[in-house]
Structure 1
Amino acid sequence: MAEDTVPAGETVGSIGRAVAAIRCVARGGAEGRRLSDVAREIGLHKATAARVLATLTETGVLRREDDRRYRIAPQFLEALGLPVSLGALRQRARGELMELVEKVEDTGLLSVRSGLESLCIDRHVGRHPLQALSLDVGARRPLGAGAGSLALLAFLPRDERETILAALADRLPYRSVTAEAIRHHAAEARRDGYTYLPDFVVHGMTGIGAPVREPSGLIVAAVSVAGVGDRLKGPRRDEVARLVLEACGRIEARLAGGA
């Protein structure tokens, strides 16, 4: 049947299924989604979901890798003005993150937004004998619950911040981490240019973080440092905050230059 003779309802339905599949795969982030995951989450028969995913793969929206999982294709993200891939982002940020950790001797983290959560995509451990290791690669936290996570939230437009906090109202797993506390610390972050969270998520642990923006101004990641005891408090707070901001600036320069 020629394309222009396809019933309007069928065409709209096909577009709706494709959009739902793209959203489902996007929520999978770097982990991707299996065919069975997509079929179940968007309520399609497995054979129908397979046809939708195959079409999206053929047209360059998705890619299917050796682990049989679907992920958003880098060229599609690039067309939308987003980072080419998490892998490329991690690669461009790694040298700067390692240099930061070498200077501060505490744990350094690189995080990205994944829906209502932050996702840690890289971690480097410093040389100091006591390290803050509560977050590892692949770990997720609600937006606002942690220095890097808060950096991904605090600098968003107000309406978007409030929408996220409303959606998280019943999903904040820490007694000390409330929507009101997040609002307070987010306001301080916008005033200072970086996040500072002493004894917030974990007692005895302090985090300092800042956002990383691509050339368009879109926040694509956050760099943060976590330390135990008084490592990031007192006079050292300003020094570490400066180093975090400088690292973010260098990463942004690498993103702008494509290096």
Structure 2
Amino acid sequence: MNKTAYTSSVPAVEQAIRIILCLAQDESTMTLTEISKKTGIQKSKAYAILNTLQHLGLVQRKLETKQYSLGPTLVYLGRKASEILSYKEITGPYLKQIATLTRSTTIFGLIEEPYLFVVAKEEGDENFSLSIKLGKRYPLTFGAHGKVILSFLPEQERERILSSQEVYLHGLPQNFDKERFRKEVEECLRKGYGVDIGTFHPKVNAIASPIFGEGRGLVGSLFVVGLFPESAVDTFGSKIRDAAMEISTALGADGIPMNFMRKE
């Protein structure tokens, strides 16, 4: 007996995307019959998919005409996609510069609470590479980037996040030391970067600086992960901080808090 070939695609998802792309073409609105005819999807199945898409705001239906059109959620998704492309274009040269300097994996992560999403990265050493894929997400309470992001948030916001998530700033949640973190916050604010030395792997260290966007909003972090020695932290940290400040300025940050820090 012949076995059906395995495929990683999900028919219902593929059909939903085909419907959205169909509605994105020249016609501003379409009836169920028109959608079914153009996509080749059976009317009953197309109706069920449209109901789901409507519930999520990806399509909308006019009661008077029973016609469908693209929904408001796509405006949000389009804006987020545009922002990410803009971030990658702006941060790209800085990531390459820092990756070359440190011979380490250099990453720009975007905050989307409760996570930090990797949206751009650059490898600095062909002999050492971390398996960090674009789109990978980390808790905001994780490692060097977590320390620096939390440090530059208002205290009330910082405490809210710490109380609502498991904290991986010092490894496993049970290892979190509040007094140690208080001192790390002071150091992050003074130096403009946070550090993790071998917490998650004895030979792997990390340095992170905050990235600000339009106004003074904290939008993400520039961070480096690699095999560099602890003795290089201050030298690399100041370069990463300076690059983060330049990126923040390019993103329209106004009155960057890091401008008030005393440079080492």
Instruction: Indicate the TM-score class for this superposition, using the shorter chain for normalisation.
Output: 0.5 to 0.7
Query: Which position in structure 2 is the counterpart of 1:151?
Result: 148
How much does 1:105 deviate?
Answer: 1.4
Query: Which position in structure 1 is the counterpart of 2:73?
Result: 62
For structure 2, the 5+ residue unaligned runs are: 1-15, 18-48, 62-67, 254-264
CA 1:238–1:58 in 2, change beyond 3 Å: closer, same or farther?
Answer: farther
Query: Which position in structure 2 is the counterpart of 1:29?
Result: none
Is 1:72 the counterpart of 2:100 in the alignment?
A: no
Opposite residue 139 of structure 1, the aligned amino acid is K
Matches of 1:86 and 1:171, distance apart in 2: 26
Query: Which position in structure 2 is the counterpart of 1:195?
Result: 194
Query: Which position in structure 2 is the counterpart of 1:256?
Result: 252
SS at match of 1:256: coil
Opposite residue 153 of structure 1, the aligned amino acid is L
Query: Which position in structure 2 is the counterpart of 1:104?
Result: 102
How much does 1:250 deviate?
Answer: 2.1
Map 1:88-127 onto structure 2 (within 5 A).
88-127=86-125
Matches of 1:51 and 1:92, distance apart in 2: 35
CA 1:91–1:232 in 2, change beyond 3 Å: closer, same or farther?
Answer: farther
Give the total of aligned pairs: 198
Q: Report if aligned partners of 1:118, 1:152 keep a CA contact under 8 Å in 2.
A: no
Alignment RMSD (CA, Å): 3.4
- Deviation by residue 1:155-214 (Cα, 9 ceiling, x = unmatched): 100111111111113888942652635555334312322111112233321111101112
Map 1:1-259 onto structure 2 (within 5 A).
47=51, 50=54, 53=57, 54-55=59-60, 61-63=72-74, 71-74=76-79, 85-127=83-125, 129-131=127-129, 133=130, 135-169=132-166, 174-175=171-172, 178=176, 180=178, 182-228=181-227, 231-234=228-231, 236-256=232-252
- Deviation by residue 1:74-106 (Cα, 9 ceiling, x = unmatched): 2xx7xxxxx951121111111111111122211
Q: Report if aligned partners of 1:147, 1:208 keep a CA contact under 8 Å in 2.
A: yes
Q: Select between 180-189 and 97-106 the one with higher mean Cα deviation.
A: 180-189
Given the two structures, how large is their TM-score scaled by the length of structure 2? Answer: 0.63
For structure 1, the 5+ residue unaligned runs are: 1-33, 36-44, 65-70, 78-82
- Deviation by residue 1:12-70 (Cα, 9 ceiling, x = unmatched): xxxxxxxxxxxxxxxxxxxxxx89xxxxxxxxx97276156135997984327xxxxxx
SS at match of 2:135: coil
Matches of 2:69 and 2:236, distance apart in 1: 47
Overall identity of the aligned pairs, in %: 19
Matches of 2:122 and 2:55, distance apart in 1: 41
Q: Report if aligned partners of 1:142, 1:172 keep a CA contact under 8 Å in 2.
A: no
Matches of 1:124 and 1:200, distance apart in 2: 22
